A and B are shown apart, each in its own frame.
Chain A
Amino acid sequence: MIKSYKFRRGLANGVIYFILGLMGIIWVCPFAYLLMHSFRAEATVGVPYLIPKQWTFQNYIDLFMSSGNASINFPRWFLNTLLVAAVSCVISTISVLAVSYTFSRLRFGARKKLMNIAMILGMFPGFMTMIAIYYLLKAMGLNQNLIALMICYSSGAGMGFQISKGFFDTIPRALDEAATIDGATKNRIFWSIILPMSKPIIVYTVLTSFIGPWCDFILAKIIMGDARELYTVAIGLQSMISAEFINDYYKQFLAGAVLVAVPITLLFLKMQKYYVAGVTAGGVKG
């Protein structure tokens, strides 16, 4: 009796291991393909086999030696993106934390209204306003300028307060009250009590806002237009597989994609527990 129960459980686990293994392979294979073919030496675009026949570092070297090239300048793109990501990450993080602390802890007349407005604004399709933003930046003399990108990526940050507000809501209010009785101002409470206790959510906010500029390419493309030396890696890489360049640059595209994916993946895996904490803190509240 006990034996058959054990057998059944073992069988069930075996089936689960099999499914998980299969799915794991499906999920990882495309990236393995990407990695392998970024080291491929032969042919230019597609090859009728899965594993490269000759291996080389040439694609990566070409990518970094391309700085003299007017239309493909990967090192420059990388620096552009790093700069934009760093600046907009700082501004976004400050905005998000300030807004979520305000909505979580401070009580004032327009609070509910402002939260509803933020929710409604979030329901407009983001692409609708791109044209207007483009003309607005042009009127300010900022089109084809990296500052424009920094502004665009950080301007809407204040509306993404839900997750960190959810986290702040879980910090007991008794702490605030005790501090208030001891004479602390709201400012003091924010800096000395709430922020030190919010490491997971700060890391989460920093992480998501830093990754944003690496992934967006629609807005960047509209703002930058044909100023190729100001591209970020996302639009740069996308332009490498456009009909004009794909024949010469396909393998370099793969190498570039690896170079973008690896640091972000490592960063992400390192910070994974904070990400999970962030997602669930926002989710559990409902």
Chain B
Amino acid sequence: MTYVEYKQLNPFQKFAYKFKTFFKNLPRAVGRFFKGIGKAIVKFFVAIARGFKNYGTTFVKGDWATKLSYIIFGVGDLHKGKIYKGLIFFAAEVLYILYMIFFGWQYISKFGTLGTVATTYVKKGISKVPVYGDNSMLILLYSVLTIVITIAVFAMYIANIKDAYKHQVMRENGKKPTSMIYDMREFLDGKYHITLLSFPVLMICVFNILPLIFMILIAFTNYDKAHMPPANLFTWVGFDNFAALFDIVNTPKKAHTFLSLTGWTLLWAVLATFTNYILGMIVALMINKKGIKLKALWRTLFVITIAVPQFVSLLLMNQMLATDGAVNVLLTEISHLFGNTTQIEIDFLGKSEVLARTTIVIVNCWVGIPYTILSMSGILMNIPADLYESATIDGASPFKTFTAITLPYMIFVTTPQLITSFVGNINNFNVIYLLSKGGPSTEEFYQAGKTDILVTWLFTLSMTSQDYGLAAAIGILVFIVCATISLIIYNNSKSMKDEEAFS
């Protein structure tokens, strides 16, 4: 279809066309995605190979001090008169060696087995006293810590060699190394990014990346109730936890739970995202319509829901939806008007699967629509006024300006938000957990209820039944789903964006 033909279509045909091309291009997008990953891996290895080459050539070209830097950190810098930097490098090496001797080695050496000495019990009088053997959990935790530290020290080692060679070249060219004060000043200007990023990055490394590596590794162990340190050891089991989630023959209950919950998670994410998006957009358009008064009042009414902490409003909703809660009371009083005399006691969240799921989606609208209204209102006010002016001059009807300007603009601007809220809903823990705790409970599922989504199941598995290995495996799978969806759509919408008129 040519551009002109496309422009002649009506909005619905345009939408249908885009819908069709999206799915037609999907295989190609997926292909591009995996090709991109492949390319990145190749690039990574090429970079490593180049690093090895530099490592060799620098050694050949280096003088004695540079060569000695390959074993003792900082010698090159000290020799060339860059004292403070040389001392820092040297101190790093000494500290690292001390760390490994007194702490790191005893853990990292057992990393392959996660400990072999089991806890034994010695009789002391009447009671048995445990003599603790290896603690698999601590071995794994400190091994990860040691690996991260080793990588950091290795980076320092490479930096030390580069710096030594740099100063050697500088000396050969008759230049002097820069002074410490000059370098410090440089950290406020040319190297300011290092100053600003070091603290946040350190925090993220210790409290986000380190735990994440730890949990990813846990997914490949049999860490559960029966293998609980310090009394028991756990060990590597390869892909057993992942297999348990897909193997319908050997572990039917777990696999059935996983597959059903995945289906509901995706359905939930689609429903929650689009109900919020569409209804929120409609309300935002109503509030911002010309001629509607008290705009601030309407907006404030909805904004209160955002302002009240989510756990308060959700716990409140949970209480109100109970069999003797406010909603049933209200329904009873309404039914009294129609001559009913009995008490209505609908169990919104505890009994029927369909009712509980519907209730959660509706309550989620109540929680989520105000966010959409708020951001949409901002965007609506941002639409350039001259677009409307020229449309009016050209004789466009209000309906036409809506379909030709407002709607495309909003959809264009909010696509990234739509993706983030979709991924956010896959991980939407609060709404499910605070409203229904995953119920109605069922015997069909392994440690899960009918409204549990994958992340709440993950939570129950690690908190209640202590299946840490299985929980970590689910976490990794959720990550893979989220990452794939957002990367594919992101890449697609970027290429689409270039054709749009509003960028």
A203-231 residues at the B interface, CB under 8 angstroms: 211, 214-215, 217-218, 222
CA distance A211 to B370 in the complex (A): 17
Task: Report if B462 contacts A (CB, 8 A).
Answer: yes
Instruction: Determine whether B106 belongs to the interface, using a CB cutoff of 8 Å to chain A.
Output: no
Contact B204 A30 (CB under 8 A): no
Which B300-355 residues have C-beta < 8 A from chain A?
300-313, 315-317, 319-320, 322, 324-326, 329-330, 332-333, 343
> By the criterion CB–CB under 8 Å, are B199 and A95 in contact?
yes
Q: Once the chains bind, are A268 and B307 in contact (CB under 8 Å)? A: yes
Contacts of B375 in A (CB 8 A): 276, 279-280, 283
B479→A124 contact, CB < 8 A: yes
Instruction: Give bound CA distance, A50 to B449, whole Å.
Output: 31
Contact B378 A283 (CB under 8 A): yes
* Least CB separation from B192: chain A residue: A186
Given contacts A120-B483, A131-B468, contact A151 B462 (CB under 8 A): no
Contact A238 B378, beta carbon cutoff 8 Å: no
A158 to B204, CA, bound (A): 7
How does the 8 Å CB contact mask read for A111-148 relative to B, with 1 for contact and 0 for none? 10010000011011111111111011001000000000
Cβ–Cβ contact A132 & B366, under 8 A = no
Cβ–Cβ contact A128 & B312, under 8 A:
no
- Among A114, A121, A124, A265, the residue within 8 A (CB) of B307 is A265
Chain A residue contacts of B308, Cβ below 8 A:
31, 261, 264-265
**Cβ of B471 < 8 Å from any Cβ of A?**
yes
Report the minimal beta-carbon distance from A118 to chain B, rounded to whole angstroms: 8
Cβ of B291 under 8 Å from chain A: yes
Given contacts A123-B482, A125-B479, A132-B214, contact A261 B309 (CB under 8 A): yes
Q: By the criterion CB–CB under 8 Å, are B413 and A284 in contact?
A: yes
0 or 1 for each of B194-236: is its CB under 8 Å from A? (1 = yes) = 0111011101101111111011001000000000000000000
Interface-centre pick from A31, A95, A101, A124 (highest chain B CB count, 10 A): A124
- Assuming A16-B292, A283-B378, is B455 touching A125 (CB within 8 A)? yes
Q: CB of B108 within 8 A of chain A?
A: no
Point out the residues of chain A lying under 8 angstroms from B298, CB to CB. 20, 24
User: Quick check: B417 and A283 within 8 Å, CB to CB?
Assistant: yes
CA distance A16 to B283 in the complex (A): 9
Residue of B nearest to A154 (CB): B203
Given the complex, which residues of A lie within 8 Å of B463, measured CB to CB? 222
Interface residue? A57 (CB, 8 A): no
Chain A residues near B309: list those with CB within 8 A. Answer: 211, 214-215, 234, 260-261, 264
What's the nearest-Cβ distance from chain A to residue B407, in Å? Answer: 17
Return the contact of B471 from the options A24, A102, A128, A136 (Cβ within 8 A): A128
Determine the chain B residues whose CB is within 8 A of the CB of A261 once the complex forms: 307-309, 312
How many B residues face the partner with a CB closer than 8 A? 97
A277-B378, A279-B374 given; name 17 further pairs at CB < 8 Å.
A20-B283, A20-B298, A23-B302, A27-B305, A94-B199, A114-B197, A124-B479, A125-B478, A132-B210, A139-B138, A156-B204, A158-B203, A257-B316, A261-B308, A269-B304, A272-B303, A279-B375
A-B contact pairs, 25 of them (CB 8 A): A13-B289, A16-B286, A19-B286, A24-B301, A46-B324, A47-B329, A111-B193, A114-B201, A123-B482, A126-B427, A128-B471, A129-B208, A131-B462, A131-B471, A136-B207, A136-B211, A151-B203, A151-B207, A188-B188, A222-B463, A261-B308, A265-B304, A279-B375, A280-B378, A284-B413
Chain B interface residues (CB < 8 Å from chain A): 137-138, 141-142, 185, 188-190, 192-193, 195-197, 199-201, 203-204, 206-212, 214-215, 218, 283, 286-287, 289, 291-292, 298, 300-313, 315-317, 319-320, 322, 324-326, 329-330, 332-333, 343, 366, 370, 374-375, 377-379, 382, 412-417, 423, 427, 429, 454-455, 458-459, 462-463, 468, 471-472, 475-476, 478-479, 482-483, 486, 497
